[in-house]
Amino acid sequence: MPPIASKPTLIVNARLVSDGREFESDLRMENGRIAQIGTGLSAREGEHVVDAAGRRVLPGMIDDQVHFREPGMEYKADIATESAAAVAGGLTSFMDMPNTNPPTLDAAALEDKYARAAGRARANYGFYMGASNDNLEAVKAIDPLRTPGVKVFMGASTGNMLVDNPETLDAIFKYAPTPIITHCEDTPMIDATLAQFKARFGDDIPAEFHADIRSRQACMKSTLLALELARRNDSRLHVLHISTADELALFERGPLIRGDGTRKRITAETCIHFLRFDRADYATLGHLIKCNPSIKEASDREALIAAVAEDVIDVLATDHAPHTLEEKSRPYTGAPSGLPLVQYALVAALELVREGKLTTAQVVQKVSHAPAQLFDVAQRGFLREGFAADIVLIDDTPFTVRREDVLSKCGWSPFEGRTFHSRIGATWVNGELVWDGSQLAGTPNGQRLEFAR
């Protein structure tokens, strides 16, 4: 990361949460980095001082799964609007998916995205390379320093990126020079169940049956295949958005970095909506919570929360996938899957702390440390001297989510009307204040993520 001329800032009286610990400390930011952590730091001339008054200060969230829709679907989201929503939510880095239009299937499309983000992204950015049934040579040729990983849709979802040719899948798992990240849902199983529901209801299938159409069996079958491919080829595999209790038995329990210093080769992610919604919510939210994989039962939700606490799930992300309200109001078969989440994901995760289900240090592990470690993100994701000053101040004042406060371009949130007990009091990206607790601040200064591989 190049040196950055940010305003020197000293946070005093903070409760820092990093590296598994919560401790009282001050923190100094200088030139875009965390310059000093310690108690009793005194302000220097010209330094901006923030009194945290005992509030929690965390490393910003690194979201390893967002769909910011650029290029091609800017009518519903773009890098500028969604990264603004992200920093308002305490999210300071994002990794964006390749199912754009055109999809990100070669190095040129990848670099085009980085060029679009420069000077417009308020958070730091990385872009995934996508796989298809016919871009194996491009996948093999990826420079691992230029992308967090290769995304493989092993189930069809938004965009037409299904990879279902068995030889191609095997070759991707064998040759990809970066981590492979997968969307696991078995498309033939889903198509067969969908046909049954269509025969019964036509296009207007009640929303809650999404949990049955995008079934747990479809998740399990596809995840088993991904694990088999990864084990056979000794690949580094990260399975995205685990949504069922059943799949949890397939993953290694224990810290991402094991006691002997090695890192798990196969890892799992879940998303905030699987921890906060369940089948009962379709009755009130309908297609607003239609997403792929589907939100399933309350028992899945509780098992997933426990799996985060027990280190079966390694990463907690958003799968932020905005669609317009008009699109969402269509009958089932025409309503796209996905929901906007970046602005309220971290405060939603912190509710689990209030409920006694996770500690703040565990939340930080899953949303900041683990994505940094898993993707070898250079010098971000921790409150450590010398690391980038990507920082969030948590204010324990309750608030209720209102549509008029939503910054995502689609203009709605699945959390509208919900009360959260903490809010994002301030966000700094590369040492620069970008969210002051009630509005955006500064100019977009997100940096390209660097991968120390």
Closest contact distance (angstroms) between CB of 1 and ligand DOR is 29
Pairing of the two strands 124-127 and 91-96: parallel
Nearer to ligand DOR, 183 or 423 (CB): 183
CB 347 within 8 A of CB 63: no
Give every CB contact of residue 391 below 8 A, 6+ residues apart in sequence: 11, 27, 29, 34, 57, 58, 59, 60, 92, 383, 427, 428
CB 50 within 8 A of CB 10: yes
Closest contact distance (angstroms) between CB of 387 and ligand DOR is 31
Closest contact distance (angstroms) between CB of 336 and ligand DOR is 6
What distance lies between CA 172 and its chain's CA centroid?
23
Nearer to ligand DOR, 98 or 371 (CB): 98
Closest contact distance (angstroms) between CB of 437 and ligand DOR is 30
Nearer to ligand DOR, 161 or 364 (CB): 161
Burial 200-231 (b: 16+ CB within 10 A, else e): eeeeebebbbbbbbbbbebbbbbbebbbebbe
Ranked by CB distance to ligand DOR, the top (closest) residue is 338
**Which residues would be at the binding site for ligand DOR (CB under 6 A)?**
67, 99, 157-158, 183, 291-292, 321, 336-338
Closest contact distance (angstroms) between CB of 241 and ligand DOR is 7
Q: What is the DSSP string of 21-32?
A: EEEEEEEEEETT
Structure tokens belonging to residue 115: 């060029």
Cis before 102 (ω within 30): yes
Nearer to ligand DOR, 12 or 291 (CB): 291
Nearer to ligand DOR, 32 or 336 (CB): 336
Nearer to ligand DOR, 54 or 72 (CB): 72
CA separation for the pair 276, 406 (Å, rounded): 19
Closest contact distance (angstroms) between CB of 414 and ligand DOR is 12
